[in-house]
C-alpha cells in the first residue's frame, strides 16, 4: 500500500505534472479513490474522471515549458499530507501553492489545493 509521501508525489508528478494522457489516467487509477473530491479556489469536483479532466485542462492551457516542482518538504501523518509546489518554467515558477490530501485504504480521497496569494 502506498505511503502518504508516495501519494503526494503521485498527485503532483504522475497526474498533474504528466502531459501523457494514458499515463496520467493510469496513475490516477492507482492514486485516487473513485469518488475522490478535488477542490481548488476555482471549483470543486467529485470523481477520478473529473480530476483527470481538471489536470488535462490545466496542462493544455500551459506552455510546454511549464512544469510542476516540489517547493518545500512533504508534511505527512498516517492519513493526511501536504506538499508545497511551484508551476512554471523550471527555476522561474509563475504560480505557487500547496496540496493537502486525505488518504484512506491506500488511495487519495480528497485533494484540497491552495494558491499562494500575491
Round to whole Å and give the CA distance between 40 and 50.
13
Q: Which long-range contacts (CB under 8 A, 24 or more apart) does 57-62 make?
A: 58/16, 59/16, 59/18, 59/19, 62/87
Residue 99: what pLDDT? 98
Q: Is the pLDDT of residue 38 over 60?
A: yes
Residue 41: what pLDDT? 93
Element (H, E) at 67: strand 66-70
Q: What percent of the chain has pLDDT over 70?
A: 99
Residue 88: what pLDDT? 96
Q: Which three cell numbers stand for residue 63?
A: 506552455
pTM more than 0.85: yes
The residue assigned the cell 480528497 is 110
Round to whole Å and give the CA distance between 88 and 50.
23
Helix (H, G, I), strand (E, B) or coil at 118: coil
Residue 118: what pLDDT? 57
Is residue 7 a contact partner of residue 31, using CB atoms and an 8 Å limit? Answer: yes
- 44 burial type by CB count under 10 A (0-12 exposed, 13-18 middle, 19+ buried): exposed
Average pLDDT over residues 39-57: 96
All domains of the chain, ordered by start, with CATH? Answer: 4-115 (3.10.450.50)
Amino acid at each position: 500500500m502506498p505511503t502518504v509521501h508516495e501519494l503526494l508525489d503521485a498527485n503532483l508528478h504522475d497526474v498533474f505534472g504528466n502531459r501523457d494522457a494514458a499515463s496520467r489516467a493510469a496513475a490516477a487509477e492507482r492514486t485516487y479513490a473513485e469518488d475522490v473530491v478535488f477542490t481548488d479556489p476555482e471549483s470543486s469536483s467529485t470523481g477520478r474522471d473529473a480530476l483527470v479532466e481538471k489536470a488535462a485542462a490545466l496542462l493544455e492551457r500551459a506552455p510546454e515549458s511549464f512544469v510542476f516542482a516540489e517547493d518545500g518538504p512533504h508534511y505527512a501523518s498516517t492519513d493526511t499530507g501536504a506538499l508545497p509546489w511551484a508551476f512554471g518554467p523550471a527555476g522561474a515558477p509563475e504560480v505557487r501553492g500547496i496540496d493537502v490530501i486525505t488518504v484512506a485504504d491506500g488511495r487519495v480521497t480528497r485533494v484540497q489545493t491552495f494558491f499562494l496569494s500575491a
